[in-house]
């Protein structure tokens, strides 16, 4: 299905908002207002782009990307020409095949490959505006550890959000702010950037970790990933700057978002992460919750996935290399 892109009608101004997390997590924060020692004023930027059957979207999105240090495409087993198109458009692109399923695993595999100073989480479906990337990087250079995109800051917006999703998002923002002492205006938005040295704070499931024998997903492999990242950044008392962002419509295909199911998952994630932050070590625990809907093999509601359902049949996995951590474990 072809979805027509509309102009956002928003002009971008410098309306960034900076906040701090709760400080009761496993990692101590540091004084804000300046870059940490060793962080460059002109950082190398790494784009991490999860994909699942996004060949048609990549043809429109990739030519608009700014010059960056590297683009890391993490493919979830596309059965269209996603990988071939990416290599045609950008011969030097890094292609990684994710080691399990779910957007969280895709991001973790991408983060493991980063060689730049700054990581930008970027959707391939056309909903993220590449022209906003410099604004996220500028927020980091100005002193933030984590630049959080927000559709609800002045200068932001969305041509894709429904009234029900907007209402649910407001409720989830209030709950997260009460739990973590933050001032998030857009908890569920996945357009974010952060310094590469923050990756260990996230403590995501290792790419080399074997899939669960019961078919369920590891905690952090699924759609809960974006909420998990936000919660762990806040619990670590890192400096967060919200950056106004305009969410566009996906170009081709349809979204798999389900307002009720995904909203409940986000709510469970917040409470699970609050319990984790309250433990003495704040570590990833065996009793972290597993959502039974994750047994079905879907992409658990993320925005990846075009018109062809992903299959792991013989010959369908593209020729991307496995994550470096997976290679080290093999």
Give the confidence band of 163 by pLDDT, cuts at 50, 70, 90. confident
| pLDDT score for 161 | 80
| pLDDT score for 175 | 95
- Residue 270's φ and ψ, nearest 5 degrees, are -60, -45
In a domain, 13, yes or no: no
Quick check: 321 and 98 in contact, CB under 8 A?
Answer: no
pLDDT at 41 over 90: yes
Separation CA 329–CA 204 (nearest Å): 17
CA dihedral (162, 165, 167, 172) in degrees, to 10, reads -160
Summarize the confidence of residues 134-147 as an average pLDDT. Answer: 98
Separation CA 17–CA 77 (nearest Å): 38
pLDDT tens, residue by residue, 271-330: 999 999 998 765 544 345 544 444 444 444 344 444 333 333 333 333 444 444 344 343
| pLDDT score for 36 | 75
pLDDT at 214 over 80: yes
pLDDT at 259 over 90: no
Summarize the confidence of residues 204-220 as an average pLDDT. Answer: 95
Q: Taking Cα atoms as reference points, which of 66, 37, 202 lies closest to residue 129? A: 66
Range scoring the smallest mean pLDDT among 100-104, 164-168, 223-227, 270-274: 164-168
| pLDDT score for 202 | 97
Q: What is the DSSP string of 177-201?
A: HHHH----S-TT---EEEEGGGHHH
The strand pairing partners of 118, in sequence order, are 45, 195
Quick one: 86 exposed, middle or buried, by C-beta within 10 A (0-12, 13-18, 19+)?
buried
Summarize the confidence of residues 123-147 as an average pLDDT. Answer: 97
Quick check: 153 and 248 in contact, CB under 8 A?
Answer: no
| pLDDT score for 104 | 96
In a domain, 2, yes or no: no
In a domain, 1, yes or no: no
Q: Could you report how far apart the first and last alpha carbons of the chain are, in Å?
A: 40
Range scoring the smallest mean pLDDT among 136-145, 217-226, 288-297, 301-310: 301-310
In a domain, 229, yes or no: yes
Q: DSSP code of 37?
A: T
Q: Taking Cα atoms as reference points, which of 18, 6, 232 lies closest to residue 111? A: 232
User: Which residues constitute the domain of residue 121?
Assistant: 20-28+37-323
Quick check: 115 and 69 in contact, CB under 8 A?
Answer: yes
Separation CA 262–CA 59 (nearest Å): 29
| pLDDT score for 113 | 98
pLDDT at 25 over 80: no
| pLDDT score for 279 | 85
In a domain, 6, yes or no: no
Separation CA 325–CA 231 (nearest Å): 25
| pLDDT score for 35 | 61
pLDDT tens, residue by residue, 182-206: 999 999 899 999 999 999 999 999 9
In a domain, 330, yes or no: no
| pLDDT score for 34 | 54
Separation CA 315–CA 113 (nearest Å): 24
In a domain, 11, yes or no: no
Separation CA 111–CA 122 (nearest Å): 12
In a domain, 48, yes or no: yes
Range scoring the smallest mean pLDDT among 9-13, 79-83, 93-97, 281-285: 9-13
Number of domains observed in the structure of the chain? 1
Quick check: 277 and 25 in contact, CB under 8 A?
Answer: yes
pTM score of the predicted model: 0.79
Mean pLDDT of the chain: 81
Q: Which residues contact 328 (CB under 8 A, 6 or more apart)?
A: 208
Q: What is the CATH number of the domain that holds 85?
A: 3.90.550.10
């Amino acid at each position: 299905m072809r979805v027509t892109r509309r102009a956002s009608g928003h002009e971008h101004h410098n309306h960034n908002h900076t906040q701090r997390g709760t400080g009761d997590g496993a990692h101590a924060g540091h004084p804000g207002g300046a870059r940490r020692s060793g962080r460059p004023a002109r950082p190398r930027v790494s784009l991490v782009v999860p994909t699942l059957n996004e060949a048609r979207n990549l043809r429109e999105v990739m030519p608009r990307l700014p010059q960056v240090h590297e683009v890391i495409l993490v493919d979830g087993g596309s059965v269209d020409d996603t990988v071939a198109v990416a290599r045609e458009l950008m011969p030097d692109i890094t292609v990684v095949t994710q080691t399990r399923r779910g957007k969280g695993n895709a991001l973790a595999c991408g983060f493991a490959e980063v060689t730049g100073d700054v990581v930008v989480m970027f959707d391939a479906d056309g909903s993220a505006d590449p022209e906003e990337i410099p604004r996220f990087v500028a927020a980091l250079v100005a002193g933030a550890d984590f630049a959080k995109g927000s559709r609800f800051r002045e200068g932001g917006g969305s041509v894709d959000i429904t009234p029900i999703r907007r209402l649910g998002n407001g409720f989830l923002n209030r709950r997260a702010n009460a739990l973590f002492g933050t001032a998030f205006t857009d908890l569920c938005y996945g357009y974010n950037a952060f310094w590469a040295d923050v990756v260990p704070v996230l403590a995501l499931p290792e790419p080399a970790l074997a899939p669960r024998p019961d078919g369920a997903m590891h905690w952090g492999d699924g759609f809960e990933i974006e909420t998990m990242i936000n919660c762990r950044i806040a619990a670590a008392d890192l400096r967060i700057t919200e950056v106004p962002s305009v969410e566009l419509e996906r170009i081709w295909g349809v979204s798999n978002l389900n307002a009720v199911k995904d909203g409940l998952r986000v709510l469970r994630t917040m409470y699970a992460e609050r319990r984790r932050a309250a433990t003495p070590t704040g570590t990833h625990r065996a009793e972290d919750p597993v959502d039974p809907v994750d047994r079905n093999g879907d992409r658990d509601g993320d925005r990846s996935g075009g018109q062809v359902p992903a299959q792991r049949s013989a010959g369908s996995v593209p020729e991307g290399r496995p994550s470096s951590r997976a290679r080290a474990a093999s």
